Amino acid sequence: MTESKRILIIGNSGSGKTWLGRALSERKKLPLFHMDTIRWEQSGYEIRS
């Protein structure tokens, strides 16, 4: 089985998405992006800091 390069976490407010995302990011050495920081446009997307 191959390792995942992207993991999408969805859930209700207060369900622990941020906690789980941080834990997986550290354990799997993957970058962590919050969907609220991504601005989608027709030409692509931009990640705001």
Segment 15-40, tens digit of pLDDT = 999 999 999 999 999 999 887 777 77
pTM more than 0.75: no
Residue 18: predicted pLDDT: 92
Q: Mind listing the pLDDT tens digit for each residue in 34-43?
A: 877 777 777 8
Residue 49: predicted pLDDT: 66
Q: Give the residues across from 46 on adjacent strands.
A: 39
Q: Is residue 45 over pLDDT 90?
A: no
Q: Is residue 12 over pLDDT 70?
A: yes
